[in-house]
Amino acid sequence: MKNIIMALFSAALIISCSKPAENTINLSASLKQNDELKENPLLMKPITVSIQPKDNTISTFYGNDIAYTYAKKHQDSNYPDNAILYQVTWKQKPDEVWYGANIPASFYSVEKISFKDSQSAYERYEGKPLRTVSHDKAANDARKEIILKQRMAVSP
């Protein structure tokens, strides 16, 4: 009897482990080679994350090393020269692994703010593949102000 139970347990273990691993990389939320971005903001340091349930989007605010270090120590938006910030926004989709959770789907927009000579420049990318989109100066300035008001997420 003991041998039968061990054989059934072993068979169940072998069968349950024989399923090939599924691809768990979210390729639709990744940058492509034909995007116009010169650098990959997803490789920068995340400063904060926000979710917009009404728009069904999720955003991550990234910074290069200079911007990240500044955001850790300051609560203002007077970033030093050579600081680069990205606000990356994705549409959301249901997570297939975790019931009730949402994960990034495709890019909605990527917004870049760079600092040089005590001035800041704003760029916006949209579409598939990501391409530069131009808006009027007032809209760009308003959007830049909203992005720069974000503060670093506090973590233990």
Tokens of 43: 């490789």
| pLDDT tens readout for residues 77-126 | 999 999 999 999 999 999 888 888 989 998 999 999 999 998 999 999 99
Supply the range of the domain harboring residue 109: 31-148
pLDDT confidence of residue 126: 92
Separation of alpha carbons 134 and 155, rounded Å:
36
Residues 108, 110, 111, 116, Cα dihedral to 10°? 180
Reported pTM: 0.80
Within a domain: residue 4? no
Within a domain: residue 52? yes
State the residue for tokens 């692994």: 97
| pLDDT tens readout for residues 29-76 | 777 777 888 899 999 999 999 999 999 999 999 999 999 999 999 999
Within a domain: residue 153? no
Within a domain: residue 125? yes
Within a domain: residue 63? yes
Q: How many domains does the chain have?
A: 1
Ranked by mean pLDDT, the top range of 4-13, 30-39, 65-74, 147-156 is 65-74
Confidence of residue 21 (pLDDT cuts 50, 70, 90): low
Within a domain: residue 21? no
- 102 and 58 in contact (C-beta within 8 Å)? yes
